[in-house]
């Protein structure tokens, strides 16, 4: 019998690998190989007519660290991350609590919260352009009613990044709300009844019972938001193009610019490696800290 | 027989063939990438010109691809070349020449057009418009949609402010003066756009202040020259000191709308916007050359035709034919009327169409008249990055985050770093 | 709990909802008015369809719609096949190396295709897929998220059903097709919704690998149409934006319940 079990096992292994093959090939082509290739090409100089590409070791990284724009961009992205994540999570949570409670016009409220999620970021940016345009935009028109001077939201270093952040939060919050809604609906009604009997206030109930139960969802949403804070840059193309004077430039936009506008692929590759490194850290946190406690498995 | 003689023969043969009409030649396919950087539904106009060309040349098929603004188009054209997709010619920024040469992807026209007739054609354009194309002794680009910066002003507002609408400011001082008179509740006196192409507007100010931003060979920049710093301080002073321009940056894209809505009495913008303004303005407006300080002046701007290196002889001949067609006086005149861009050769202003048009609408001549004082648009090796540094410096000063000497000093240092390997 | 608090809360919820839809409402309103009326907020101004005419004439929108439609279809089809096979292998087959490979797959959740644009672009050139719909879609087909999702769904299928099918003589692929796939339908639906809305909205990657009207999806077409260099005409851009989002928005509003339910039921947590 041991023999047939052995054959069965071997057959299963063959099947298993065969089933994984198509996905494996594509993942290798578009994730693993490019990662290695990115690292490799980050070690070479850019080839031009005068000087062909040559091995330069860490020079691209050194150049990057000496590039003040790079540090501006890193700072911008840190701020972007640090603000969009908590802000969109809190708003999403509030939205979910409201959308889950018995209020009038609940379905309208739900739809309204969720709608931005289905819009392309490019379209969203166009909508917001109408808000931000100095003098002519909706914000300034409203401001005028209250006697405020027009503000150049996208044209000032102090406000440009914030304007971008607001669009991101607007786009993200409804999406995250869905996860909270899902989690809220798994909380059994008896908990709430028990709390009522105990005479706990709604606030206490929310704080002591609901929020802890939502913790795994929050962690999941947080990781998502973190990834989004790297990849959600489409609106920059419409709203600010990273300006004024790099005040709203984010790292992925800078990578794109470096590679496709300045044609410096090696420098872009070096930046990509640094981003991947950061993402790896996030991944590690996810795997070793969060997965233990969530319902992933 | 050498290469060029062959090419010349081929060209002559092609021309003879078209002269005889309906040749039984296999079709040559051309792919052309082009941008439209200013207002209006101009893709239609391009499509029409291309259709006319194809009707006249049934042996050539042109695939004209609109690809967004200048930067987008450059990326698109280069991507196509990288991927081995066909691309024989493109309309790209006149200032992209250095980058394109450096990447070794364009061919100089003077090596392709070698006969006297061809040379005469190369000489038929306004010299000021050729300035950006002449690099290292070759001619790399043929002017197509070319512009200078002009001042648009709202005559109604001039009248309301007690200014002479037929006498727009011709010096910086007059401009500030007029700006103050024109600034009132809800209206600024002047807007100079500072997103999109801030370096371009700034170049005009620097020229007017008597200093050019770069050397002719594209190897040196002069951002930290006192006259240049002064020019930027002047720009900043328009908002903080004189209060005739909004603080912060002024958006290139929405500026035309702001002018049309009466948010500003004067604006500096490309002449390429002229037709769009003419069609939408609900008030009496005028166009004038830019005011001067030490001297008058404006940089040229806009797009040139480039021919890609990796093309067959037939394709080159066909591409050249297309370029000659699109820059011929009649087409140049039609293009100028449709857009506001300049006619690229003196001959185009001699055509009936443009003569009649400029007579009825004299502002259409302003850009050309300014050519006498025009200077090549800012362009160096590593143009995009050097320019980006300058743009950032300008915006940093206009938004008050840095002072002019510091910001321009940084931009100069960055440019030095980038240009050093080329010297 | 007091009545007052409840009222305040309800008004808060509705106020937030109003704020949230306002960009959409303003753009909708602007799309139907002349630019001048729109930027001056002439609330009584007459409505017009001119902006839609201008916008419609300004770009080959039908072609863009078709491209986007093809793109999301190709991506979804590829994803279904690949993630089903891989998800099944991870969920139901025990074989050496599986767990290591699974970790590798999960890594892809963090090696975002967006970040690898430079090398992925080079890869697309090498494969000769530049400026093709397949080229836009292919990097997303082996989605780690999808594989993970399918694995979870297949794991919850009772072993008895698997055994029963096996005893009836079904092959492994037959079991997958007859037992697992039907049972995972809600997951497929949810995944489809997520995938379609993601790729309908995707921008950066299509921007890089498309080069012509024949492949350009809506988002890229819209961004080129609205490039601020061409002078922003707010009403026309609003009209174009409305046109491009209309199908997805209408679909969402019609099937909203299914949409949200799909998310909830499949429990993407």
What does the DSSP assignment read for A160-176? Answer: HHHHHHHHHHHHHHHHH
| Mean pLDDT, rounded, for B392-396 | 91
Position C17 scores a pLDDT of 92
> Cβ–Cβ of C115/A37 closer than 8 Å?
no
Instruction: Kindly report the pTM of this predicted structure.
Output: 0.84
Is there a contact between A115 and C30 (Cβ–Cβ < 8 Å)?
Answer: no
Does the domain at residues A59-290 carry the CATH identifier 1.10.3720.10? yes
Half-sphere exposure of B316 (CA within 13 A, CB side): 24
Task: Indicate the Cα dihedral angle B228, B233, B236, B238, nearest 10°.
Answer: -100
For A140, A226, A256, B85, C195, the CA distances from A235, given in Å and listed in that order, are: 20, 17, 14, 29, 20
Tokens of C196: 């379609």
User: Could you tell me which chain A residue has the CA closest to the CA of B186?
Assistant: A135
The number of beta carbons lying within 10 Å of the beta carbon of residue A142 is 12
Biggest alpha carbon distance in chain B?
Answer: 74
End-to-end CA distance of chain A: 33
| pLDDT of B17 above 80 | no
Closest CA–CA distance from residue B251 to any residue of chain C (Å): 9
Residue A89 host element (H or E): helix A68-100
Instruction: Enumerate residues 6+ apart whose C-beta is below 8 A from C77.
Output: none
Is C147 an 8 Å CB contact of chain A? yes
pLDDT band with cut points at 50, 70 and 90 for residue A3: low
More confident residue, B408 or A105: B408
Q: What is the pLDDT along chain C (269 residues), one digit of tens a residue?
A: 567 878 888 888 999 999 999 999 988 998 898 877 877 777 788 888 888 988 888 788 999 999 999 999 999 999 999 999 999 999 888 888 888 888 888 878 778 788 888 889 989 988 988 889 999 999 999 888 889 888 888 888 888 888 888 888 888 888 888 888 888 888 888 888 888 888 988 999 999 888 888 899 999 999 888 765 556 678 888 899 998 888 888 888 888 777 776 665 554 43
Whole-number pLDDT of residue B191: 95
Nearest CA in chain C to B74: C211
Cβ neighbours of B83 in C, within 8 Å: 124-125, 130-131, 211
- pLDDT at position A88 is 94
Give me the residues paired with residue B267 across strands: B152, B191
Considering the four listed CATH numbers 1.25.40.10, 3.20.20.80, 3.40.190.10, 3.20.20.330, the one that applies to the domain covering B147-299+374-422 is: 3.40.190.10
Give how far Cα A255 sits from Cα of A242, A273, B246, C42, C187, Å: 12, 11, 32, 43, 35
Among A175-184, B143-152, B204-213, where is mean pLDDT lowest?
A175-184
Taking only Cα atoms into account, the Rg of chain C, rounded to an integer number of angstroms, comes to: 23
CA geometry: angle at C103 spanning C100 and C107, to 5°?
A: 140
Distance (Å, whole) CA A130 – CA C30: 9
What pLDDT sits at residue C2?
66
Considering only CB atoms, which chain B residues are within 8 Å of A133? Answer: 251, 254
State whether A263 and B103 contact (CB < 8 Å).
yes
pLDDT at C218: 92
Residue A47 near chain B (CB below 8 Å):
no
Q: Which CATH number fits domain B3-146+301-368: 3.10.180.10, 3.40.50.1100, 3.40.50.10490, 3.40.190.10?
A: 3.40.190.10
Q: For residue B24, what pLDDT is reported?
A: 45
Token duo for residue B55: 């009707």
Rounded Cα distance, C88 and C81, in Å? 11
Rounded distance between C-alpha atoms, residue B29 and residue B293, angstroms = 50
**Shortest Cα distance from A50 to chain C (angstroms)?**
23
3-state secondary structure of B190: strand
Q: What is the pLDDT of residue C263?
A: 62
Contacts of A157 in chain B (CB under 8 A): 395-396, 399, 401
Chain B residues within 8 A (CB-CB) of chain A? 71, 74-75, 78-79, 99, 101-104, 194-195, 246-251, 254, 257-258, 261, 263, 384-385, 388, 391-396, 398-399, 401, 410, 421-422
Say if the Cβ atoms of A244 and B399 lie within 8 Å. yes
Q: Which domains does chain C have, with CATH numbers?
A: 61-266 (1.10.3720.10)
CB contacts of A131 in chain C (<8 Å) are: 23, 26
Residues C169, A63: Cα–Cα separation, whole Å: 64
* Radius of gyration, CA atoms only, chain B: 22
Given an 8 Å threshold on Cβ–Cβ distance, is A243 in contact with B249?
yes
Q: Which of B44-48, B142-146, B357-361 has the lowest mean pLDDT?
A: B44-48
- Return the partners of chain B (3 or more C-beta pairs < 8 Å): A, C
Helices C98-107 & C61-92 angle (0-180, nearest 10):
150
Question: According to the model, what pLDDT value does residue A91 have?
Answer: 95
The per-residue b/e assignment along B388-412, b for 16 or more CB within 10 angstroms, e otherwise, is bbbbbbbbbbbbebbebeebbbbbb
- Chain B positions touching C232 (Cβ under 8 A) are 251, 253-254, 257
pLDDT for B180 beyond 70: yes
Stretch (H or E) spanning C87: helix C61-92
Return the biggest CA–CA distance within chain A: 88
ipTM over 0.95? The verdict is no
The span from the CA of A197 to the CA of A207, in Å, is 17
Q: Which of A13-17, A21-25, C83-87 has the lowest mean pLDDT?
A: A13-17
pLDDT for B84: 74
Query: How is residue B69 written in tokens?
Result: 């603004």
Question: Among C67, C72, C74, C75, which Cα is nearest to C213's?
Answer: C67
Kindly tell me the sign of the dihedral angle through the C-alpha atoms of B14, B18, B19, B23.
positive
Are A263 and B385 a contacting pair at CB < 8 A? Answer: no
Residue of B nearest to A133 (CA): B254
The pair of structure tokens assigned to C100 is: 């290591």
Domain boundaries, chain A: 1-41, 59-290
Task: Give residue-wise pLDDT tens across range B22-73.
Answer: 444 567 888 888 887 544 466 777 888 889 999 999 999 998 888 777 888 8
**Measured between beta carbons, which residues in chain A are less than 8 angstroms from residue B251?**
133-134, 152, 154-155
Half-sphere exposure of B387 (CA within 13 A, CB side): 25
- Cβ-contact A84, A229 below 8 angstroms: yes
Q: How far apart are CA A106 and CA C150, in angstroms?
A: 32
Contacts of B393 in chain A (CB under 8 A): 245
Q: Is the peptide bond before A72 cis (omega within 30 degrees of 0)?
A: no
The closest alpha carbon to B316, from B107, B137, B84, belongs to B107
Q: Which of A134, A150, A245 sits opposite B392 (nearest CB)?
A: A245
Q: Where in chain B is the domain with CATH 3.40.190.10?
A: 3-146+301-368, 147-299+374-422
Residue partners of B202: CB distance under 8 A and separation at least 6: B213, B231, B232, B235, B390, B394
Q: Retrieve residue C10's tokens.
A: 């309800």
State how far residue B27 is from chain C, nearest Cα, in angstroms: 21
What does the radius of gyration of chain A's CA atoms come to, in whole angstroms?
25
Span A53-75, average pLDDT: 88
Which of A155, A246, A263 has the CB atom closest to B249's CB atom? A155
Give the torsion through C-alpha atoms of C44, C46, C50, C52, to 10 deg: 50
B69, B76, B254 ranked by CB distance to C232: nearest: B254
Q: Tell me the C-alpha distance between B149 and B272, whole Å.
A: 9
**Rounded mean pLDDT, A82-103:** 91
φ, ψ of residue B305 in degrees (nearest 5): -80, 135
* CA–CA gap between residue C226 and residue C231 (Å, rounded): 8
φ, ψ (nearest 5 deg) of residue B135: -135, 130
CB within 8 Å: C110 and A269: no
- For residues B228 and B211, what is the distance between their CA atoms, to the nearest angstrom? 6
Minimum-distance CB partner of B261 among A136, A152, A244: A136
State the pLDDT at residue B225: 94
Give φ, ψ of B60 to 5 degrees.
-120, 130
Identify the band that residue B7 occupies on the pLDDT scale cut at 50, 70 and 90. Answer: very low
- Give C191→chain A minimum CA distance, Å: 14
What would the DSSP string read from start to end of C167-229?
Answer: HTT--HHHHIIIIIHHHTHHHHHHHHHHHHHHHHH--HHHHHH--STTT--HHHHHHHHT-GG
> Residue B6 pLDDT more than 70?
no
Task: Look at residue B8 and tell me whether its pLDDT is greater than 50.
Answer: no
Query: Which residues on B lie below 8 Å from C227 (Cβ)?
Result: 68-69, 72, 253
Q: Return the higher-pLDDT residue of B220 and A53.
A: B220
pLDDT at A216 over 90: no
Between residues B209 and A293, the one the model is more confident about: B209
Q: Which of C125, C213, C229 has its CB closest to that of B253?
A: C229
What does the pLDDT average to over B333-339? 85
Burial letters B255-268, b for 16+ CB under 10 A, else e: bbbbbbbebbbbbb
DSSP-derived secondary structure for chain A: -HHHHHHHHHHHHHHHHHHHHHHHHHHIIIIIHHHHHHHHHTTBPPP-SSS---B-TTHHHHHHHT-HHHHHHHHHHHHHHHHHHHHHHHHHHHHHHHHHS--TTHHHHHHHHHHHHHS-HHHHHHHHHHHHSTTTSHHHHHHHHTTPPP--TTTSHHHHHHHHHHHHHHHHHHHHHHHHHHHHTTS-HHHHHHHHHHT--HHHHIIIIIHHHHHHHHHHHHHHHHHHHHH--HHHHHHTTT-STTTT--HHHHHHHHHHTS--HHHHHHHHHHHHHHHHHHHHHIIIIITTTSS--
Interchain pair C20, A104: CB under 8 A: no
| Minimal C-alpha gap between C131 and chain B (Å) | 9
pLDDT tens-digit map of B131-141:
888 888 899 99
Identify all chain C residues contacting A99, using CB atoms and an 8 Å cutoff: 13
Parallel, antiparallel, or unpaired for β B298-307 and B142-154? antiparallel
Of A68, A136, A152, which has the smallest distance from its Cβ to B257's Cβ? A136
Judging contacts by C-beta atoms under 8 Å, the chain A residues touching residue B103 are 48-49, 263
- How confident is residue B296, by pLDDT bands cut at 50, 70 and 90? very high
CB contact under 8 A, C230 and B69: yes
């Amino acid at each position: 019998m041991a023999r047939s079990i052995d054959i069965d096992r071997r057959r299963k292994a063959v099947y298993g690998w065969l089933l994984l093959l198509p996905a494996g090939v594509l993942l290798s082509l578009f994730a693993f190989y490019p990662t290695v290739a990115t690292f490799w090409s980050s070690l070479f100089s850019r080839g031009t007519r005068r000087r062909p590409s040559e091995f330069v070791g860490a020079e691209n990284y050194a150049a990057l660290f000496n590039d003040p724009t790079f540090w501006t961009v890193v700072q911008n992205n840190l701020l972007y991350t640090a603000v969009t994540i908590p802000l969109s999570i809190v708003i999403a949570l509030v939205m979910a609590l409201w959308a889950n409670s018995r209020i009038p016009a609940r379905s309208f409220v739900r739809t309204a919260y969720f709608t931005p999620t289905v819009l392309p970021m490019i379209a969203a940016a166009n909508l917001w352009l109408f808000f931000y345009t100095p003098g002519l935009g909706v914000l300034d028109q409203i401001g005028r009613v209250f006697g405020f001077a027009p503000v150049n939201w996208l044209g000032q270093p102090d406000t440009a990044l914030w304007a971008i952040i607001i669009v991101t939060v607007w786009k993200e919050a409804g999406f995250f709300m869905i996860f909270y809604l899902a989690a809220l609906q798994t909380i059994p009604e008896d908990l709430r009844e028990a709390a009522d009997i105990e005479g706990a206030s709604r606030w206490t109930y929310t704080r002591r019972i609901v929020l802890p139960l939502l913790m795994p969802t929050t962690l999941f949403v947080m990781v998502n938001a973190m990834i989004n804070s790297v990849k959600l840059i489409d609106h920059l193309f419409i709203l600010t193009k990273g300006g004024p004077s790099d005040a709203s430039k984010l790292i992925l936009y800078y990578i794109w610019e470096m590679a496709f506008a300045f044609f410096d692929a090696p420098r872009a590759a070096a930046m990509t490696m640094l981003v991947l490194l950061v993402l790896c850290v996030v991944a590690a946190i996810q795997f070793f800290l969060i997965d233990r406690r969530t319902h992933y498995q | 027989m050498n290469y060029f003689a062959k090419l010349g023969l081929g060209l002559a043969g092609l021309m003879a063939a078209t002269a005889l009409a309906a040749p039984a030649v296999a079709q040559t396919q051309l792919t052309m990438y082009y941008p439209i950087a200013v207002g209006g539904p101009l893709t239609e106009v391009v499509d029409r010109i291309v259709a006319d060309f194809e009707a006249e040349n049934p042996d050539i098929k042109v695939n004209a691809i609109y690809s967004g603004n200048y930067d987008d188009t450059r990326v698109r054209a280069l991507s196509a070349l990288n991927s081995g997709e066909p691309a024989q010619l493109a309309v790209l920024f006149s200032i992209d020449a250095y980058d394109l040469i450096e990447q070794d992807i364009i061919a100089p026209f003077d090596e392709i057009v070698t006969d006297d007739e061809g040379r005469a054609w190369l000489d038929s354009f306004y010299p000021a418009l050729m300035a950006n194309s002449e690099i290292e002794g070759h001619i790399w680009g043929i002017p197509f949609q070319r512009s200078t910066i002009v001042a648009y002003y709202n005559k109604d507002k001039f009248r309301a402010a007690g200014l002479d609408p037929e006498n727009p400011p011709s010096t910086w001082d007059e401009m500030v003066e007029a700006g103050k008179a024109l600034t009132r509740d809800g209206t600024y006196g002047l807007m100079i756009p500072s997103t999109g192409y801030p370096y371009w507007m700034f170049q005009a100010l620097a020229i007017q202040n008597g200093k050019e931003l770069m050397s002719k060979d594209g190897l040196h920049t002069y951002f930290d020259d006192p006259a240049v710093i002064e020019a930027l301080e002047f720009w900043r002073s328009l908002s903080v000191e004189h209060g005739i321009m909004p603080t912060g940056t002024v958006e290139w894209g929405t500026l035309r709308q702001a002018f049309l809505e009466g948010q500003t009495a004067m604006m500096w913008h490309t002449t390429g916007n002229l037709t769009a303004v003419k069609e939408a303005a609900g008030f009496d407006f005028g166009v004038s050359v830019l005011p001067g300080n030490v001297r008058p002046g404006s940089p040229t701007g806009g797009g040139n035709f480039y021919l890609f290196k990796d093309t067959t002889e037939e394709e080159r001949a066909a591409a050249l034919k297309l370029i000659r067609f699109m820059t011929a006086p009649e087409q140049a005149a039609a293009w100028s009327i449709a857009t506001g861009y300049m006619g690229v050769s003196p001959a185009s202003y001699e055509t009936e169409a443009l003569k009649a048009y400029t007579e009825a609408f004299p502002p259409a001549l302003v850009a050309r008249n300014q050519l006498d004082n025009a200077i090549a648009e800012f362009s160096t090796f590593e143009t995009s990055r050097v320019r980006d540094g300058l743009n950032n410096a300008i915006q940093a000063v206009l938004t008050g985050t840095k002072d002019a000497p510091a910001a321009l000093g940084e931009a100069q240092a960055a440019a030095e770093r980038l240009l050093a390997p080329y010297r | 709990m007091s009545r007052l608090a409840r009222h305040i809360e309800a008004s808060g919820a509705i106020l937030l909802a109003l704020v949230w839809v306002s960009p959409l409402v303003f753009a909708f309103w602007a799309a139907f008015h002349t630019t001048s009326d729109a930027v001056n907020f002439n609330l009584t101004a007459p409505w017009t369809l001119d902006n839609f005419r201008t916008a419609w004439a300004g770009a080959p929108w039908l072609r863009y719609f078709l491209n986007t439609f093809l793109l999301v279809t190709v991506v979804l089809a590829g994803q279904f096949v690949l993630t089903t096979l891989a998800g099944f292998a991870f969920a139901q087959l025990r074989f050496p190396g599986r767990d290591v490979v699974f970790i590798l797959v999960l890594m892809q959740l963090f090696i975002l295709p967006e970040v690898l644009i430079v090398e992925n672009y080079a890869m697309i050139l090498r494969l000769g897929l530049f400026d093709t719909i397949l080229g836009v879609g292919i990097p997303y087909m082996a989605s780690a998220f999808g594989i993970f999702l399918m694995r979870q769904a297949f794991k919850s299928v009772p072993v008895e059903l698997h055994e029963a099918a096996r005893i009836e003589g079904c092959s492994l692929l037959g079991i997958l097709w007859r037992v697992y796939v039907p049972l995972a339908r809600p997951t497929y639906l949810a995944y489809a919704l997520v995938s379609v809305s993601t790729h309908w909205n995707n921008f950066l990657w299509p921007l890089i690998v498309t080069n012509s009207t024949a492949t350009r999806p809506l988002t890229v077409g819209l961004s080129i149409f609205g490039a601020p260099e061409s002078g922003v005409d707010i009403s026309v851009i609003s009209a174009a934006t409305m046109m491009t989002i209309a199908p997805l928005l209408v679909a969402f509003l019609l099937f909203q319940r299914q949409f949200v339910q799909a998310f909830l039921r499949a429990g993407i947590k």
